[in-house]
A and B are shown apart, each in its own frame.
Chain A
Amino acid sequence: MGNRTVNKLSIQSDPELQSALLQFYEQYTTCLDDVDFDRWPTFFTPDAKYQITSRENFARGLPIAAMSCDGVGMIKDRVTALVKVLVYEPRIWRRYVSSVRIDAIEGDIIRSRGNFLLFESMMDREPQLNMLGEYVDKVLYRDGLFRFKERSCVYDNYRIQTTLFAPV
């Protein structure tokens, strides 16, 4: 995350900052695509909030989410569950992120958003778009590193398809 040093955290339209942030977003999705789940919690601050929730709940300000982590401990427990406990059909998940944009910068917090697609390729049938939506984030930039302080994966889907196992 954030290999490139960004000197100024003040100008929203700074192309260097935009580029570094996009790289951070893509490093995050690549980590998940690579099933490098042990590294996934390292993208977050210790007190991070992470949720995967519907547009319906998010727009209404309702707190329930399909996955709701308060603190990196709960994010790590999602990894434990996914890797060691939960039973599910094998598949390949692949994520695409685009339209990463900075909405505001408040001190060392970047408020940013991006679009995501989550595709699912099952072992005995065709790939499908499983989920799509918007990342709504607060990214901490400190000591040359980006980390998510808050990440909401707000899916546009009316309904989750069967079950949601994958982090987004």
Chain B
Amino acid sequence: MLETSSTPNTYKWPTEGVTRIPSWIYSDQEIFRRELETFHYGESWNYIGLECEIPTAGSFKRSWIGPRCVLATRDANGQVHVVENRCAHRDSQLTWKESGQFDSQVMICPYHNWTYDLAGNLKTMPFFRGCAGNPGMPADFDRKKNSLKQLRVATRGGTIWATYSERAPDFVDFVGPEILPWFDRLFNGKPLKLLGIARQIVPCNWKFYTDNTHDGYHAALLHTFIPKFGLWRPDGDYHQIPTENGRHVLYRIGYSKELQNTRNEVTKELRVLESDFKLADPSVVTQHKDEFGDMHNSAFQIFPSTVVQQFFSSLTVRHIVPKSAISHEISWNFFGYEDDDAEMTKARVRHSNLVGPSGFISAEDTEIIAQIQPAVNEYHSNHVIEMGGKGTEAAHTMISESAIRAFYDFYRTEMRL
């Protein structure tokens, strides 16, 4: 890392370009606000939840777009709505619950009982027309203008997305043609089933997490479980592909049982690849069933809000929620399909031990990034991102930081930095 004399107020990216990341982007408050306006509240689709979480008319689920709290509701016609959980009157929250059912197909704010339909339109409030001869709301009060903030909604394959922007492209165009087949591979029209949600609060900037998910380089070095139990090796079938000019990234990893147990020229370079560690129950690192018929594990990031991942039988949407410049929440939304049998559900739960907040191959991510924050709060340095060269093309190895460079190429353009 190099010390630099440039200060955050100049917002000048290092002249080397995307082979450098200035550390002030991880601590500066104004940059944080600008990111939310540019990405989360701009022309991006944000993950909200799964349709199976709001199965009935009047049901709702709470979710987040950055620090903003939203509600996904389902109305009597089966339509899904996403609204801000913020009363148009005095900004009160409409509900404090994670999920539930609104009675009588209305949302009533607890403070003054302003009453909205499930789409967020203001119907009335108590004594709207006055009471006992006393005036209610004035004649020029416009209920349409005082409704909940309603977002534009897209659903696909049982997932729910929302955007603040009328100009954002359709969801399929936002995802793009490279990732869409991998999206549809998991969200293929079969009814989904929520298996559970695990949440973490991480005391560091959210982009450390999104960087980490672009960073195949660290995986076998930090997560020593991976090489020690044969889950990966440098000569494996591995691809990390930036898409949509670096906005998103796609991983596809061919799984080969034979390769898992082979040692050769490549693996002897890697000191952590040991055969001394044996699992008492190796089923956690053994595929149960190749349900997609392609012997692949896959993950993709739909920026800014998710990483969707299939690792063996564990299927999960990671929802990345920035809370402040120095904290973010991750929720792991594990799912299966309605037609999973008991053995498949058991396998999904078993393989979930690999990922999540205590995951064998994921636990260290949040641990390592959390302890970087104090340094970037204190120092202004430039992070050197040159593994695998200086380009932004797809890489067919884990040992590359190309996807990180591709992302910051996109980021600089959008943020005008």
Interface residues of A (CB under 8 A from B): 52-54, 56-57, 60, 62-74, 76-77, 80-81, 84-89, 158-165
Chain B interface residues toward A at CB < 8 A: 98, 194-203, 222, 224-225, 228, 277, 279-281, 284, 329, 334, 345-346, 349-350, 352-353, 356-358, 360, 363-364, 366-368, 370-371
By the criterion CB–CB under 8 Å, are A68 and B364 in contact?
Answer: no
Q: Are the C-beta atoms of A77 and B196 separated by less than 8 Å?
A: no
Cβ–Cβ < 8 Å partners of B367 in chain A: 87-89, 162-163, 165
Complex partner residue of B363 from A88, A158, A161, CB under 8 angstroms: A88
Q: B316 CB to closest chain A CB, in angstroms? A: 9
Residue numbers in B under 8 Å from A85 (CB-CB): 224-225, 228, 277, 360
Contacting pair A87 B280 (CB below 8 A): no
Other A-B contacts than A85-B277, A159-B329, 5 sampled, CB-CB below 8 A, are: A70-B349, A73-B280, A87-B222, A87-B368, A162-B366
- Per the bound structure, the CA–CA distance linking A85 and B228 in Å amounts to 8
Which one of B200, B356, B357, B360 has the greatest number of beta carbons of chain A within 10 Å? B357
Contact partners of A68 in chain B: CB under 8 A: 349-350, 352-353
Residues of A within 8 A of B194 (CB): 62
From known contacts A63-B195, A89-B371, infer whether A163 and B363 are also in contact, taking CB-CB under 8 Å: yes
Once A and B bind, how many residue pairs between them come within 8 Å at the CB atom? 121
B284 x A159 contact (CB < 8 A): no
B358 touches A67 (CB 8 A): yes
Which residues of A sit under 8 angstroms from B281, Cβ to Cβ? 71, 73-74, 76-77
- A160/B363 contact (C-beta < 8 A), A73-B280, A89-B371 known: no
Q: How far is the CB of B348 from chain A (nearest CB, A)?
A: 8
Q: List 29 A-B contacts (CB under 8 A).
A: A60-B196, A62-B194, A63-B196, A63-B345, A64-B334, A64-B349, A65-B196, A66-B356, A68-B350, A69-B353, A71-B281, A73-B279, A74-B281, A74-B284, A76-B280, A81-B225, A85-B228, A85-B277, A86-B360, A87-B364, A88-B367, A160-B200, A161-B200, A162-B200, A162-B201, A162-B203, A163-B358, A164-B363, A165-B367
- Mostly, the A contact residues are mixed
Whole-angstrom distance between the alpha carbons of A23 and B349 in the complex?
A: 32
Instruction: Kindly identify which residue among A56, A57, A87, A89 contacts B224, using a CB–CB cutoff of 8 Å.
Output: A87
Which A residues lie within 8 Å of B360 (CB)?
Answer: 81, 85-86
Residues of A within 8 A of B200 (CB): 159-163
Contact A88 B353 (CB under 8 A): no
Residue of B nearest to A165 (CB): B363
CB proximity of A50 to chain B, nearest CB, Å: 11
**Given the interface contacts A159-B201, A165-B363, does A77 sit within 8 Å of B279 by beta carbon?**
yes
B199 touches A159 (CB 8 A): yes
Q: How far is the CB of A62 from chain B (nearest CB, A)?
A: 4
Q: Once bound together, how far apart are the Cα atoms of A85 and B230, in whole Å?
A: 13
Q: Which residue of B lies closest to A54 (CB)?
A: B198
